[in-house]
Amino acid sequence: MFISPLTLLPGSRQCFLFFVTKSQNLVMNPFLSIFIKCSLTVTASILLIATTGMDRLAAALRMLKIPKIFVLQLLLTYRYISVLIEEVSRMMRAYSLRAPGQKGIKWSVWGSFAGQILLRTFERAERVYQAMSLRGFTGEYHTGDISKLSFKDLAYFTAWSLFFVIARIYNIPVLIGSLFTGVIR
Task: For residue range 106-162, list pLDDT tens digits in order.
Answer: 888 888 888 998 998 889 889 988 998 898 888 777 766 667 778 998 999 999 999
Domain match, 61 and 129 both: yes
Please state the pTM of the whole predicted model: 0.54
Residues 62 and 94 in one domain: yes
- For residue 125, being part of any structural domain is answered with yes
**pLDDT tens-digit series, residues 69-85:** 898 898 888 888 888 89
Residues 78 and 123 in one domain: yes
Residues 70 and 129 in one domain: yes
Q: Rounded to whole angstroms, how far apart are CA atoms 141 and 70?
A: 11
pLDDT at site 5: 43
* Nearest CA-CA partner of 126 in 83, 91, 93, 162: 83
Is residue 142 situated within a structural domain?
Answer: no
CA 2 to chain centre: 27
For residue 170, the enclosing domain spans: 148-185
